[in-house]
């Protein structure tokens, strides 16, 4: 092992010596013979060609590794300084990773996803971050009803369900305001679409959305003049020549 590292060190020194030499002789200075160090290694039975090649490959690898390390550190510094993410935040990365931030280092970000798996992502691979845990969020609802459903009664059911959630002691702690009903958002071949939303605390939109969907489904089932639309895919017809 010691002989290997000694040989490698000699090869690096030889490579440095050769690179420091003049690239080409001038007319007044004839080309020198083979360097003494290289000749001495050859006399000892050490082939310097593989050493030079190995030293070049190692230097190239170290250069690329250092470049990636510097990129990770600089990106990490900007993310930490700008307070883009913090421990405990739920984030979605452009790489497809999503989860709760468990730890931050100067080089990597560690996430735990919804299945409990831990992902360690270098900062240099992060181009865009979606932070879902800052200040507030929205529980947005888009509900489609059939054309024979009464519009006013459909809107009334949405208002009724929204009011019940606002009065629920377990759910209202997630809210930052009453339900906003936007009305008829659009119409297509299957029916008309009503939209509404709650402004919630960060992370509270999931419980609110589940409760709203469940309660609205039960109220629609109890109402004769309102029905959910069923989406039927349009068949694709081939074009004959």
What mean pLDDT value characterizes the chain?
79
Position 19 confidence tier, pLDDT thresholds 50, 70, 90: very low
Residue-level pLDDT at 84: 85
Beta bridge partners of 143: 194
Position 5 confidence tier, pLDDT thresholds 50, 70, 90: very low
Q: For the CA atoms of 79, 207, 175, 94, what is the dihedral angle to 10 degrees?
A: 20
The C-alpha atoms of residue 135 and residue 42 are separated, in whole angstroms, by 71
| Most confident of the ranges 63-72, 127-136, 168-177 | 168-177
The structural domains of the chain, with segments of one domain joined by +, span: 2-16+34-76, 84-131, 136-221
Using the Cα atoms of residue 47, residue 49, residue 50 and residue 54 in order, give the sign of their dihedral. Answer: positive
Structure tokens at 163: 């009011």
Q: Which CATH architecture has domain 84-131?
A: Roll (2.30)
Residue-level pLDDT at 20: 47
How would you class 218 by CB atoms within 10 Å of its CB: exposed for 0-12, middle for 13-18, buried for 19 or more? exposed
Tell me the pTM.
0.60
Q: For the CA atoms of 159, 163, 165, 166, what is the dihedral angle to 10 degrees?
A: 130
Name the nearest CA neighbour of 132 among 93, 174, 180, 181.
93
In the numeric block, the tokens 């605390």 are attached to 201
Of 139 and 7, the structure prediction assigns the larger pLDDT to 139
The C-alpha atoms of residue 132 and residue 38 are separated, in whole angstroms, by 62
CATH class of 136-221: alpha beta
pLDDT at residue 10 greater than cutoff 50: no
Section 78-94 average pLDDT = 86
Position 107 confidence tier, pLDDT thresholds 50, 70, 90: confident
Query: Is-same-fold flag (84-131; 136-221)?
Result: no
């Amino acid at each position: 092992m010691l002989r290997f590292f000694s040989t490698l060190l000699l090869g690096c020194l030889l490579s440095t010596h050769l690179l420091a030499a003049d690239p080409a002789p001038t007319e007044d200075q004839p080309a020198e013979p083979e360097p003494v160090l290289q000749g001495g290694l050859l006399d000892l039975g050490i082939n310097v060609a593989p050493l030079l090649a190995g030293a070049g490959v190692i230097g190239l690898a170290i250069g690329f590794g250092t470049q990636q390390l510097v990129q990770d550190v600089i990106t990490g510094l900007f993310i930490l300084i700008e307070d883009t993410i913090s421990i405990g935040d739920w984030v979605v990365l452009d790489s497809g990773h999503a989860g709760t931030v468990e730890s931050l280092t100067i080089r990597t970000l560690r996430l735990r996803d919804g299945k409990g798996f831990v992902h360690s992502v270098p900062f240099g691979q992060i181009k865009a971050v979606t932070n879902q845990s800052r200040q507030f969020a929205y529980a947005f609802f888009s509900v489609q009803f059939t054309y024979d459903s009464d519009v006013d009664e459909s809107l009334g059911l949405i208002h009724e369900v929204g009011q019940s959630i606002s009065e629920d002691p377990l759910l209202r702690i997630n809210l930052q305001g009453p339900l906003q009903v936007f009305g008829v958002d659009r119409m297509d071949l299957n029916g008309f679409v009503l939209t509404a939303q709650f402004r919630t605390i960060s992370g509270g939109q999931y419980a609110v959305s589940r409760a709203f969907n469940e309660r609205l489904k039960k109220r629609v089932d109890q109402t004769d003049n309102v029905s959910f639309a069923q989406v039927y895919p349009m068949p694709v017809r081939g074009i004959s020549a």
